Structure 1
Amino acid sequence: MTRRFPLNVCALTIAALFTSTAVFAKTYTASEQANRIAQETIIVDGHIDVPYRVKNRWVDVTKATEDGDFDYPRAVKGGLNAPFMSIYVPASLDNSPESTQLAHQLIDSVEAIVARAPDKFAIAKSPSDVKAQFEAGLISLPMGMENGSPIQGSLDNLKAFYQRGIRYITLAHSQANHISDSSYDLRRKWKGLSPFGKQLVTEMNNIGIMLDISHVSDDAFYQVVEITKVPVIASHSSLRKFTPGFERNMNDDMIKALGENGGVIMINFGSSFVDKAAGQWRKGLTAARKALIAEEGEDSPNLENFEATYREKVPYPYSTLDQVLDHIDHVVELIGIEHVGIGSDYDGVGDSLPIGLKDVASFPNLVQGLLDRGYSRQDIEKILSGNLLRVWQQVEDYAAKHSA
């Protein structure tokens, strides 16, 4: 049967074709200087989804892998030595024991990576761990929890996850949970944070866990920065200036509030986070699928491999390294070099990564791009790790004073 797409996506088709052919014309090559900086500098990536990747389809990332965005050889090549392992729990598991159980299982998987290759990896629970392990030639694996659902309203669970190495918590994910509203959830159940969520902000400050405001609604963000006594992070978010209407990203007023808080936004590499064309393409895909279902029904054989077929007709408009750099530039222009970092979302955004930043071996390309735009080595080191390590240390110091 011939596969058809509705006429109302033709404009998107033409735009995507022009965008796609334009970006593929450029290649990125890192200089010896860029490679040297990448190898000599601690690189912290705020968000990599290896644990959920190996849960869905196990591979040994201590060795080279055929798919995915992360493995040990590619991390070494790119100079990546402190990727935060995302302990991601789907929103559908909120208010269930399975949520907490899954989080512990994913932490187990990170510990298993280290156990298989202690000469390559080590768990990191503090900035000092990251620095010492860098000097020892090990890749640090700090952990952040994506979605606070596993806490299940229990401060005992919060303490247990801290003991196991969780050092930031993304308060919500794709739906409102018992802590916070989500930027993706139109219901706005709590109009920001729940009563427990407000209590949790203070408890996370006191115990020494960074607050991650990626994914939360705008109201929740402002409530967090009002309550917290320490800087917060956005572990994998980009800028709404370049993606109008995409609330998952942060607008300029939020960026300024983050700067006043002393926090850091860590730029997400996913094309839909970087450029509005990718988001429009996704809307076109959804519209075409709905149109096909309306015409042929839910059982249509044309729904099999629908996205792959759609991509053949409407090439995906990948963003570029240069556009990622535009996000970094804009943060620096708004609030200064001290407030931007890297949160790639590798292994979490599928086949949507920018040209020039396709996997963890690509960090020298990012360094080269920063050099080409006039950033000094000192400023590049702040972006690659210094800013995040500064916030992490401030959070630790506050908790230590509180416990004392």
Structure 2
Amino acid sequence: MIKLSSLVVAIAIALTGPAQANITPSKKAIKLAHDTILIDTHIDVPYRIHDKWADVTKATDDGDFDYPRAVKGGLNAPFMSIYIPAHLEFEGKGKSFQLANQLIDGMEAIAFRAPDKFAIASSTSDIETQFKQGKISIAMGMENGSPIEGDMQNLQHFFDRGVRYITLAHSQSNHISDSSYDIRRKWKGLSPFGKKLVTEMNNIGMLIDVSHISDDAFYQVMALSNTPVIASHSSLRKYTPGFERNMNDEMLLALKENGGVIQINFGSSFVTSKAGAWYDQMKNKKEAAKKQGTKVSKDFDAMYRAKNPFPFASLTQVLDHIDHVVKLIGIDHVGIGSDYDGVGDSLPIGLKDVSSYPNLVQGLMDRGYNDTDIKKILSGNTLRVWQQAEAYAAKH
């Protein structure tokens, strides 16, 4: 995770202007956020509190999520990410399976410790029931299919534990799929096991998440899946040319044909190419210093940031991503996948934590989206694909 100093944040706010920094949503925007099921398909609380424990049932001093902020923002149905690092020591050695179960245990502990605030959700009906009860539903998605470990029984195991989507790979290719970040395209898409896994995921009602996988793997999933897929936390290559982790227009058109949904990632490097270039430049400077024999201080990153303010994305730019999806493939195919607690302090001005969703709603209202359309973005589209997965599994 990337931690930016308060000085850098202040400089960035000054550069982007007060209108970006001090957004005040209307009463209508706040009410709409609170009165609607609000699903964010990717929040990295499980790994955050595994790495450094915090009681998110109460206010916390750091991170992007806790109960008070979620309530303020109207977030009532987060998909908590069961994130498994793409380390070689994890893949195929039992450690992925172990860690995934521990992270799920952590989510169950939150619901057990604060049953008046949280409840585990393993179905769309759970989401709807718990929304009426005023509870925050904890749904779960697995980021990186490494814990499946080549065994279909593990797929069923994690489904039984409440996982409802699997991101097939993460930052390295695994036994299921090639990764968009990995230049080694071991499988040229999906592995033979990965192709079988897609079918089995359909059959049991597990959503397939195409975020992180290579373009070849994406199109193979499109050809194989009998249910709509999601891109749980991806944005658009139109605004980040050359960044394969995001989706291009051809992929969006294929997603429409599949009936799926792309949930927009808020991380600045996903939203604007300037942020990605900033990271590349800092990395290059550090590597150049090492090659010259210069001892790189542990404070190098902070010093670099102080001299080179981070180009935070804006709420306006996030809305541009949503607009483009809607204009190209329609209102039924876009949702929210913020990546809160997963992208450090690189979040856009105006969308800094889970209390910020009313700002997004206000932005959508300002761009002419009506209440029905906004509700589709907040949850309707994601609930539709999840319900379709449930219905297909009931028949198979």
- TM-score norm. by structure 1 comes to 0.93
1:24–1:355: 8 Å Cα contact kept in structure 2? no
2:176–2:194: 8 Å Cα contact kept in structure 1? yes
Instruction: Report the Cα distance in structure 2 between the residues aligned to 1:121 and 1:246, rounded to whole angstroms.
Output: 36
Corresponding residue for residue 23 of structure 1: 16
Displacement of 1:33 in angstroms is 0.4
- Matching residue within 341, 348, 357 for 1:347: 341
2:180–2:244: 8 Å Cα contact kept in structure 1? yes
Displacement of 1:22 in angstroms is 3.5
SS in 2 for 1:393: helix
Matching of residues 26-45 of structure 1 within 5 Å: 26=19, 27-45=22-40
Matching of residues 251-330 of structure 1 within 5 Å: 251-297=248-294, 300=295, 302-330=296-324
Corresponding residue for residue 70 of structure 1: 65
Q: 1:161 to 1:17 in 2, by over 3 A?
A: closer
1:83–1:140: 8 Å Cα contact kept in structure 2? yes
- Matching residue within 365, 369, 373 for 1:371: 365
- TM-score norm. by structure 2 comes to 0.95
1:20–1:317: 8 Å Cα contact kept in structure 2? no
1:259–1:335: 8 Å Cα contact kept in structure 2? yes
Q: Which runs of 4+ in 1 moved over 6 A?
A: 16-20
Displacement of 1:20 in angstroms is 6.5
Q: Can you list the C-alpha shifts for 1:308-353, whole angstroms capped at 9, x where unaligned?
A: 1111000000000000000000000000000000000000000100
Instruction: Report the Cα distance in structure 2 between the residues aligned to 1:65 and 1:17, rounded to whole angstroms.
Output: 21
- Matching residue within 144, 158, 171 for 1:161: 158
2:143–2:166: 8 Å Cα contact kept in structure 1? yes
Corresponding residue for residue 5 of structure 2: none
2:85–2:170: 8 Å Cα contact kept in structure 1? yes
Instruction: Report the Cα distance in structure 2 between the residues aligned to 1:401 and 1:390, rounded to whole angstroms.
Output: 17
Instruction: Report the Cα distance in structure 2 between the residues aligned to 1:22 and 1:332, rounded to whole angstroms.
Output: 30
2:246 maps to 1:249: yes
SS in 2 for 1:183: coil
Q: Which runs of 5+ in 1 are unaligned?
A: 1-15
Corresponding residue for residue 228 of structure 2: 231
- Could you tell me the percent identity over the aligned residues? 67
2:45–2:341: 8 Å Cα contact kept in structure 1? yes
Instruction: Report the Cα distance in structure 2 between the residues aligned to 1:356 and 1:17, rounded to whole angstroms.
Output: 13
Instruction: Report the Cα distance in structure 2 between the residues aligned to 1:277 and 1:60, rounded to whole angstroms.
Output: 35
Q: Which runs of 5+ in 2 are unaligned?
A: 1-8
Instruction: Report the Cα distance in structure 2 between the residues aligned to 1:166 and 1:96, rounded to whole angstroms.
Output: 21
SS in 2 for 1:174: coil
Matching of residues 93-112 of structure 1 within 5 Å: 93-112=90-109
SS in 2 for 1:91: coil
Q: What amino acid is the match of 1:87?
A: I
2:165–2:207: 8 Å Cα contact kept in structure 1? yes
SS in 2 for 1:303: coil
Q: What amino acid is the match of 1:44?
A: I
Q: Can you list the C-alpha shifts for 1:134-186, whole angstroms capped at 9, x where unaligned?
A: 00000000000000000000000000000000000000000000000000001
Corresponding residue for residue 9 of structure 1: none
1:17–1:315: 8 Å Cα contact kept in structure 2? no
Q: CA RMSD in A?
A: 1.3
Q: Can you list the C-alpha shifts for 1:265-310, whole angstroms capped at 9, x where unaligned?
A: 000000000000000000110011012212234xx2x421211111
Displacement of 1:19 in angstroms is 7.6
Instruction: Report the Cα distance in structure 2 between the residues aligned to 1:250 and 1:17, rounded to whole angstroms.
Output: 31
Corresponding residue for residue 47 of structure 1: 42
2:388 maps to 1:391: no
Q: Aligned residue pairs: how many? A: 384
Q: What amino acid is the match of 1:58?
A: W
Q: Can you list the C-alpha shifts for 1:53-105, whole angstroms capped at 9, x where unaligned?
A: 00110000000000000000000000000000000001111111001000000
Instruction: Report the Cα distance in structure 1 between the residues aligned to 2:118 and 2:304, rounded to whole angstroms.
Output: 40
Corresponding residue for residue 200 of structure 1: 197
1:17–1:317: 8 Å Cα contact kept in structure 2? no
Instruction: Report the Cα distance in structure 1 between the residues aligned to 2:345 and 2:27, rounded to whole angstroms.
Output: 29
Q: 1:391 to 1:53 in 2, by over 3 A?
A: same
- Matching residue within 77, 88, 103 for 1:82: 77
SS in 1 for 2:356: helix
Q: Can you list the C-alpha shifts for 1:20-60, whole angstroms capped at 9, x where unaligned?
A: 74314323110000000011001000000000000110000
Instruction: Report the Cα distance in structure 1 between the residues aligned to 2:178 and 2:17, rounded to whole angstroms.
Output: 38
2:261–2:335: 8 Å Cα contact kept in structure 1? yes
- Matching residue within 179, 182, 189 for 1:182: 179
- Matching residue within 61, 82, 99 for 2:56: 61
